[in-house]
Structure 1
């Protein structure tokens, strides 16, 4: 067995030995229940639609710029 192989074997064993042991999921306390999200309002829906439209427009502009760059 070469020196490198011995080093690799010892290093691997050391790394495995240094790994933390996984905690028992049954022993961990349960997480607090999540707070329910507030109901969406028409204003929220309008803001979401406006944000989506702006994102789509920015994407289209980026695609157009990419096409112009490819054509050049």
Structure 2
């Protein structure tokens, strides 16, 4: 949800700056790229956290299996 809000704000700012001329068009594109990069970084962080949680769950399962196999 925050990703869509951020992109909406960037698009609104981009349209406002695009009306001012080509120099500001580059600034608008840079702002849009920065927002996209931030969004991608957030997605990557979320994926890393999910992978870490999966790895922890797998480690717990492996430990349980090792105890069961040792009996």
Give the structure-1-normalised TM-score: 0.45
Which one has a larger percent helix, Structure 1 or Structure 2? Answer: 2
Larger Cα-atom Rg: 1
Whose RCO is larger (CA < 8 A, sep 6+)? 2
